[in-house]
Amino acid sequence: MKQSFLILIALAVVILAAALLRPTAGERNTQAIAGLPWQIEILPDGHSRVFGLTLGASTLADARERFGTDMEVAVIAAPGEAGSLEAYYNQVTAGVLTGKMILTAALNKESVEGMRQRAVKKQHMESSTRKFSLDPDDLAQAYDTQIESITYIPSASFDADIAVSHFGQPAERIRSSARVENLLYPAKGLALTLDSEGKEVLQYVAPRQFARLRDPLL
């Protein structure tokens, strides 16, 4: 009985998320909800703001204050690469939608390598990628670093029609494979990856840095 009740609750959450992603006559009501993935504000100085965070200005500490202290911060690196300082949330709420979030910090190569060398723990992740857990002193410094990019993986799936209804027509579409298509919005600093058999991925940078998202797709 308890299991059936939990299943009903989970189903209700999925239906609510799908209803918000699918445009309806009540779409206007969602405009009062802040922090939705398609609410991207381009600022006069060229920065962009999404999820209540300004890329290139807000820090990991700002994200921690907004989304909670269960932020996992580490240096993530593939073999032969310096890696990057990243903060990971297993689940955040963006408006009323849930999903995973990865924030990449703007930190130079030398500082990242120093954090790797002083790491208190090293773990292997998927493939050959490694995660380096930070020394407490480095962790305090990490919170003060600015956020360079945000990756958001929503729990609810959606297709190209739903994406276009919320984000508008993309400036460019690049198909990576039969199942994966990338919708590019350089003016918004957004690359939206649609996977017909997997999870959708939204990547945000300041518009002037959009080449960082587009070039790897070519």
- Locate the domains of the chain by residue range: 2-217
The pair of structure tokens assigned to 84 is 């990057």
Q: Distance from CA of residue 167 to its chain's centroid? A: 16
| 2 band by pLDDT with thresholds 50, 70 and 90 | very low
Encoding tokens for residue 13? 């959450």
Q: pLDDT tens digit string along 7-41? A: 333 444 444 444 445 544 444 455 578 899 999 99
Residue 47 has pLDDT above 60, yes or no: yes
User: Over 80: is that where the pLDDT of 126 sits?
Assistant: no
Averaged pLDDT of the chain: 86
Sign of the C-alpha dihedral, residues 69, 18, 50, 82? Answer: positive
- Of the candidates 92, 97, 85, the residue with the CA atom closest to the CA atom of residue 149: 85
Pair of tokens at residue 187: 């003016």
The span from the CA of 145 to the CA of 174, in Å, is 32
